[in-house]
Amino acid sequence: MALASLLLQISTLGLVVLITQYVLAYSRSPLKKIPGPFLAKFSDLWRLFNAYEKKHITTQLQLHEKYGDYVQLGPNVVSVADPSLVKTIYSTRGTFLKSDFYAINDAMQDGKIIQNIFGTRSNEFHSKYIRPVQKLYTFQSVKEYEPVMARSLSTFFQELESRFVDGANKDKTCDIADWISYLTWDILGEMTFSKPFGFMEQATDVGGMLETAERNMDYQSVIGQMPFLDKWLAKNPRLASKFPAFAATAGFCVERFLERMQKLEQFKGKPDFMNHFLRAKEEHPTVVTDNEVIAYMIINVLGGADTTSITTKAVVYHVLKNPIVQARLVEELRDAKLNHPAPYSSLENLPYLDACIKEGLRIHPVVGHIMERVVPSTGLALANGVTLPPGTVVGVNPWVVHRRADVYGERPNEFLPERWLQGKSESDAEFEGRMRRMGDADLSFGKGNRVCLGRPLALVEMAKIVGTLFAKYEIELEDPNAEWEVHPQWFVWPHKIRVKMTKY
């Protein structure tokens, strides 16, 4: 009894000490003037469980609606919705470094942490390894891959027609969300190493790669809120096998690399990224090793396939949910008398198609969390008079800033491509100013020195998929009243867009 009493007293004392420490830390915190959930001021567990419940997007929208431009999400974390700070936090100078949230993207190799160009927190590392391949991702360079895209698109339309449009399969329901994923992954396979993954041919998730990607992003969405946990979980050799990893995708890339090394003459002149990466190895031998070539390949696929599919699905879904929008888009595309698959040169100057894509990127950005950065030594002065000290984790959630009516106009929660077009009574100067404000707040591809390198590739791909799809087929939702499924994680995954299709 005496021992039990003593243990109870010790436990009580420990709890009192812990609470006292939290209270003292809060009372001295430079963030105490930033409003937010009570528990978030004391522990990151609040935001971890919020992400685990997949409520982070709706919660952050509600918090900013309630508290304004600045909300405390953790003891050292502030969410910013002030559009005037977007260019400061995500500057081209890169003074605000990525936080440890991105460390979860690091790989483990022989017990060592290996960074990559996406997840690295070092500007020096990023610049060193981006420089040899940066020129491959300009709009001009991307257009050279159009014949490769055209082959994949032709396969896409052939598969759709044979399975859902022609003969005995006429009027069969197609989950276009799945097929857009199959297409974007196979396109990236063709462009990266001249071999598709086989999603379209097999009409299935080959090797579980799509499911693994989503599970991996779910892990990062949750554990990224307290990234030190990753060392004890997925980076722990004893537990690593219990967590999702990109082994199948990485293995496919390694196989393609080894195959290429054995058949260099056979693949010589192939218009794919791997040949360009190998050329970068020749030009920058002290930087680009065989391991870096493989890393470029993996990032090329993982960084481009799902992000492009997510935004393409968003455009397709919202167009289908808005018959007036769909009719106007189809009219523009049909009047253009496009070839199929349509070349980008025939699509890039179609204003309503461009507006639909921009609106899809705005209303359904890929990333669902704040894009975390660390406040540098200068601090960060907020409009409310508070200065965030160095080391504070700060970020903007695209889902929040993209819904600001003072930036994007009326009805920001609705899909309105017209917001990207010049109004009849709007002067050129007014239109240019409005486009500039919306562009400055746009985070659909990130911003600053860590902006998505594959932006031109994604935009060309989206235009070709959306443009050809709506020009070639009459498409309608199986049930116009049914909603799609959205899985909010780090990425915001759309599923179940069930459609009926007929050829024009």
- Pick out the residues of the known binding site for heme: 452
**Three-state SS at 493:** strand
Binding site feature residues: 452
Evaluated on CA atoms 462, 215, 298, 91, the torsion sign reads positive
- The length of the chain is 504
**Three-state SS at 458:** helix
Please report where in the chains the tokens 């420990």 appear, as a residue: 14
SS3 of 364-412: CCCECCCCCEECCCCCEECCCCCEECCCCEEECCHHHHCCCHHHHCCCC
Q: Quick one: which of 91, 96, 98, 31 has its CA closest to 67?
A: 31
Task: Return the ∠ at Cα 460 (arms to 415 and 274), rounded to 5°.
Answer: 135
CB 484, CB 307: distance < 8 Å: no
Sheet with 393-395, edge to edge strand ranges: 70-74, 77-80, 393-395, 373-374, 97-98
Between the CA of residue 475 and those of 131, 173, 234, 470, what are the distances in Å? 43, 11, 43, 7
CB 106, CB 115: distance < 8 Å: yes
Strand 393-395 and strand 77-80: the pairing is parallel
| Residue-wise DSSP of 121-152 | S-HHHHHHHHTTTGGGGSHHHHHTTHHHHHHH
Please report where in the chains the tokens 């759309």 appear, as a residue: 494
Task: Say how far apart CA 90 and CA 15 lie, in whole Å.
Answer: 41
Please report where in the chains the tokens 């969390």 appear, as a residue: 369
Task: Say how far apart CA 182 and CA 198 lie, in whole Å.
Answer: 8
For the chain, the straight-line distance linking the first and the last C-alpha, in angstroms and rounded, comes to 85
Residue 34 amino acid letter: I
Q: Quick one: which of 223, 206, 225, 250 has its CA closest to 108?
A: 250
Cα 96 to chain centroid distance, Å, stands at: 20
Q: Give bridge partners of residue 133 from the DSSP assignment.
A: none
Cα 341 to chain centroid distance, Å, stands at: 26
CB 78, CB 379: distance < 8 Å: no
Between the CA of residue 94 and those of 194, 219, 429, what are the distances in Å? 35, 27, 31
Task: Say how far apart CA 17 and CA 368 lie, in whole Å.
Answer: 37
